[in-house]
Amino acid sequence: MQNNWIEIKVITTSDALEPVSGIFYWLDVKGVAIEDPNDIKLKEQNPLSWDFADYNIFEFGEDAAVVKGYFSEEEDIENLKNIILTKLNELREMGIDVGEGRLVTTKVNEEDWSTSWKKYYKPLKLGDKIVIKPTWEEYSVNEGEIIIELDPGMAFGTGTHETTSMCIGMIEKYLKPGDVVFDIGTGSGILSITSSKLGAGNVVGVDLDEVAVKSATENVATNGLKNVNILHGDLTNVLMGKANIIVANIIAEVVIGLTETIKPFMERDSIFIASGIIRERSEDVLNAMNNAGHRIIEVKEKGEWVAIVTTLK
């Protein structure tokens, strides 16, 4: 795997994080990272999950959100930047406030990138039982806690984002011992590992991002799990059979597309947990779910993000 990447930052707003992230995914990005000022302000009040010493919290201003995409050095970066700027203008024409919409391009070394942020990532308790513990941190386990060892590297999913924490809470709530779980867009593998440790019988995580597949596979091995399989590809190409729980922590556009696609993989009483949905897109997702024959069980909001649980009608 290559050592250097080209990082393209889009300086935007919290409200535009989801559609701007969608631009990167549409470009077949090799990795995406999000910095939301709303998240950061919350983390300032939660020292267990974040250490702000020596950290430039608001590099681009207190209200500036940042979406960072990572591309191969071999790609035509200038062409990619032009496409991104065109797509940002299209979002503006749709009435979406993308804020400054400025691009910042930097060459980053993968090893430096994947280690420099580790001093800010601390053990974090999510839900009733789950504690996300970075592999390099020490932690004294309390009674009843379930520890997940995690090194996300360049893959999405440290547990600090609202969408991930909501998904973990819903997995805790709906998963039954022995359930089969499909984790679509597994990222670091955090939701697959959580499902296994909460008693799932068999878990399959899939991701189109090779960096994520590598990261998730390593995290599964670190946690010593034998019933979790991480695959490269998408739902329809690599998964077989049916699941009791399907979880997708991605973006609204992808979730909308999944509402029909996942149905052959669901039993009548299967649960679909969907997140990564910005609040402004929740009605679009709910309408798509209803039209596809899903029955809404639960809708939860945290910050600017929404998670939805459905089953088939």
Whether 69 and 19 have beta carbons less than 8 Å apart is answered as no
Buried b / exposed e over 14-52, threshold 16 CB at 10 Å, is bbbbbbbbbbbbebebbbbbbbbbbbbebbeeeeebbee
Sign of CA dihedral 231, 237, 239, 243: positive
**87, 27 Cβ separation under 8 angstroms:** no
Residue 108's alpha-carbon distances to 171, 269, 279, in angstroms, are: 35, 46, 32
**pLDDT tens for residues 47-82?**
333 333 333 444 666 678 888 888 888 889 999 999
For residue 156, give its domain range.
121-312
Supply the pLDDT for residue 171.
Answer: 96
Average pLDDT over residues 90-119: 78
Q: Are residues 62 and 129 in the same domain?
A: no
Same domain membership, residue 135 and residue 74: no
- 133 and 97 in one domain? no
Higher pLDDT, 285 or 47: 285
Confidence of residue 110 (pLDDT cuts 50, 70, 90): low
Evaluate if residue 221 carries a pLDDT over 90. Answer: yes
- The average pLDDT across 252-280 equals 92
Residue 41's φ and ψ, nearest 5 degrees, are -65, -35
When divided into structural domains, the chain yields a total of 2
Tell me the CATH number at 147.
3.40.50.150
Q: What is the pTM of this model?
A: 0.71
Identify which of 198, 194, 121, 191 has the alpha carbon closest to the alpha carbon of residue 160: 121
For helices 17-26 and 252-261, give the axis angle rounded to 10 degrees.
70
